[in-house]
């Protein structure tokens, strides 16, 4: 009898093992699979929230010897699409994410937005996997397994997202004969992304309501456009919002001011490929608190003049770029950043002059691993402009208008675009040229379908496939780079 039981146990184990092997083989043969994060959304009482829309937008790497900042979601082969996912009746949504942030650096967290018309929008990070990166020492794996056993959970789930009920805010406009406009009213609130489509509703002309305002201190502003397209702004109003209570605020609109300017005489005329970008913060408020802000840009005329209409009162930050010249730095703390020049905008139109300095030209000779000239390699640099000593973006990569985002929403032009000034393609001699770099933009990268730059160890201990060169403004600066075959030495955690 004991022998019979032993045979049954062995046969059962054999069947289970074979079944597992079939499942693994099927998974391997059926193609690449992206990992899936199971995200649950609850309300403050712990009840599931159905119908919440989750949209992934970024990643962070697993902790370990290699860890770095926040990476945006890429739209390219090998990456899952970041399509919106809706939570089911139990509050769960499944979100695919890439196993690797880049090369062999594994994803550890994802960032995503969560929106539901009855709750305050959220944009959290969640850890999606707690397993050590590939190549981790056996002690790391032993600690991981022991911790999972102690917690009696062999499957890691993300922490739930808890949404909060919002305060109700109604903004109404005091009748203003000068505006003479029956168009829709718009509004901005602290921390609310300008393109969130369900955040505001319009119950009647001249009024706008949200039920999703975060509780606590808030700053809000109303905007309306007249028949000529000019923007009218209310003052930025401070209030303390309480969950599920209504704040009824009546505001007065004032026509936005016009900014006129000129590039200084340093730039020869005619000016070519000139762009000016303006960003306005409410005076006295901290950029890190995400108060209502306004963004606009325009092209520069051949004679060096420009005009930007419909700006609100506040602290203006402005940058300019044209062929061969960039605006001189305003006040700032980081030597690797380019800073805007600053002006104060009141209620009257303003005329300014922008000081400029010469940019640098960078010529890169690109070679393959045998020292031969390499054609069709893409060379890129990324000079950053920093607004409010808080947020940074590639200089003139932000050619968008807040007015367009308000009126057109997601149909408007994207808020970020690549800047051709900072890119070059190598020719048959392996030469690539970037003509228009600010002198502090001394880091560049080279990409090719079959080759990559050798990885170097940075001051923080990470490995990077970019390198630096000293740039002298007004001159052609030259450097030679030799690439290695793609995949020869992938960057990994260990």
pLDDT tens per residue, range 180-216:
556 789 999 998 876 666 799 999 989 999 999 999 9
* SS3 of residue 372 by DSSP: coil
pLDDT tens per residue, range 91-113:
999 999 999 999 999 999 999 99
Mean of per-residue pLDDT scores for the chain: 89
271 shares its domain with 369: yes
Nearest to 370 by CA among 435, 439, 450, 286: 450
146 shares its domain with 177: no
Segment 419-440 shows an average pLDDT of 97
Whole-number Cα distances in Å, 443 to 69, 101, 455: 17, 21, 14
Segment 308-319 shows an average pLDDT of 97
Assign 413 a pLDDT band (cuts: 50, 70, 90).
low
227 shares its domain with 282: no
pLDDT tens per residue, range 317-355:
999 999 999 999 999 999 999 999 999 999 999 999 999
> What's the pLDDT score for residue 26?
44
Evaluate whether residue 492 is within a structural domain.
no
> What's the pLDDT score for residue 23?
43
> What's the pLDDT score for residue 272?
98
Bigger pLDDT: 412 vs 44: 44
Assign 13 a pLDDT band (cuts: 50, 70, 90).
low
341 shares its domain with 369: yes
Query: How many structural domains is the chain composed of?
Result: 4
220 shares its domain with 234: yes
Q: Give the angle 85-91-94 at the CA atoms, nearest 5°.
A: 35
Range of the domain at 1: 1-31
26 shares its domain with 68: no
Residue 238 belongs to a domain with what CATH number? Answer: 2.60.40
Nearest to 55 by CA among 161, 168, 212: 161
Residues pairing with 235 in the sheet:
none
Long-range Cβ contacts of 41-45 (<8 Å, 24+ apart): 41/87, 41/91, 41/93, 41/114, 41/116, 41/160, 41/161, 41/162, 41/163, 42/91, 42/160, 42/161, 42/162, 42/163, 43/119, 43/162, 43/163, 43/165, 44/162, 44/163, 44/164, 44/165
Segment 44-50 shows an average pLDDT of 97
The domain boundary residue, chosen from 136, 163, 190 = 163
345 shares its domain with 205: no
Answer whether 28's CB lies under 8 Å from 70's CB: no
Segment 421-447 shows an average pLDDT of 96
pLDDT tens per residue, range 237-282:
999 999 989 999 999 999 999 999 999 999 999 999 999 999 999 9
Assign 141 a pLDDT band (cuts: 50, 70, 90).
confident
* SS3 of residue 424 by DSSP: strand
Q: How far from the centroid of its chain's Cα atoms is residue 387's Cα?
A: 14
Assign 419 a pLDDT band (cuts: 50, 70, 90).
very high
pLDDT over 90 for what percent of the chain? Answer: 74
234 shares its domain with 362: no
pLDDT tens per residue, range 59-78:
999 988 787 789 999 988 88
> Does residue 24 carry a pLDDT above 70?
no
20-29, 152-161, 220-229, 340-349 — which is least confidently predicted? 20-29
> Does residue 32 carry a pLDDT above 90?
no
The domain boundary residue, chosen from 224, 251, 278 = 251
The domain boundary residue, chosen from 113, 143, 163 = 163
State which H helix or E strand residue 19 sits in. helix 2-29
């Amino acid at each position: 009898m004991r022998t019979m039981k032993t045979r049954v146990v062995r046969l059962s184990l054999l069947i289970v093992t074979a079944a597992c092997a079939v499942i693994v083989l099927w998974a391997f043969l059926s193609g690449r699979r992206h990992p899936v994060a199971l995200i649950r959304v609850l309300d403050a009482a712990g009840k599931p929230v159905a119908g919440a829309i989750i949209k992934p937008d970024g990643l962070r790497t697993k902790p370990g010897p290699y860890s770095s900042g926040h990476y945006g979601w890429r739209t390219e082969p090998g990456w899952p699409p970041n399509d919106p996912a809706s939570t089911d009746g139990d509050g769960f949504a499944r979100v695919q994410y890439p196993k690797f942030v880049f090369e062999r650096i594994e994803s550890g967290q994802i960032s995503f937005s969560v929106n539901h018309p009855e709750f305050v929008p959220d944009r959290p990070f969640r850890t999606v996997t707690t397993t050590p990166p590939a190549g981790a020492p056996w002690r790391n794996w032993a600690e991981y397994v022991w911790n999972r056993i102690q917690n009696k959970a062999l499957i890691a789930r993300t922490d739930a997202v808890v949404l909060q009920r919002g305060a109700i805010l109604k903004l109404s406009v005091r009748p203003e004969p000068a505006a003479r406009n029956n168009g829709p009213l718009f509004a901005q609130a602290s921390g609310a992304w300008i393109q969130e489509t369900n955040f505001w509703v319009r119950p009647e002309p001249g009024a706008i309501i949200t039920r999703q305002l975060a509780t606590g201190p808030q700053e809000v502003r109303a905007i309306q456009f007249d028949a000529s397209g000019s923007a009218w702004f209310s003052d930025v109003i401070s209030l303390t919002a309480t969950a599920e209570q209504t704040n009824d605020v009546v505001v007065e609109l004032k026509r936005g001011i016009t900014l006129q300017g000129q590039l200084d005489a340093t730039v020869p005329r005619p000016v070519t490929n000139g762009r000016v970008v303006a960003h306005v913060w409410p005076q006295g408020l901290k950029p890190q608190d995400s108060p209502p802000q306004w963004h606009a840009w325009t092209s520069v005329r051949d004679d060096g003049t420009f005009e930007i209409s419909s700006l609100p009162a506040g602290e203006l930050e402005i940058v300019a770029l044209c062929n061969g010249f960039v605006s001189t730095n305003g006040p700032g703390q980081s030597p690797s950043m380019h800073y805007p020049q600053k002006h104060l905008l009141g209620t009257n139109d303003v005329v300014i002059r922008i000081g400029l300095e010469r940019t640098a030209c960078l010529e890169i000779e690109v070679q393959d691993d045998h020292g031969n000239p390499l054609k069709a390699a893409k060379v890129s640099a990324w000079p950053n402009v920093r607004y409010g000593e808080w947020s940074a973006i590639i200089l003139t990569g932000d050619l968008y208008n807040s007015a367009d985002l308000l009126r057109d929403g997601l149909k408007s032009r994207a808020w970020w675009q690549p800047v051709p000034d900072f890119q070059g393609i190598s020719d048959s001699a392996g030469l690539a040229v970037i003509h228009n770099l600010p002198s502090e933009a001394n880091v560049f990268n080279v990409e090719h379908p079959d080759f990559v730059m050798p990885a170097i160890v940075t001051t923080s201990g990470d490995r990077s496939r970019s390198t630096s060169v000293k740039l002298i403004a007004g001159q052609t600066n030259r450097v030679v780079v030799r690439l290695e075959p793609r995949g020869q030495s992938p960057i990994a955690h260990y």
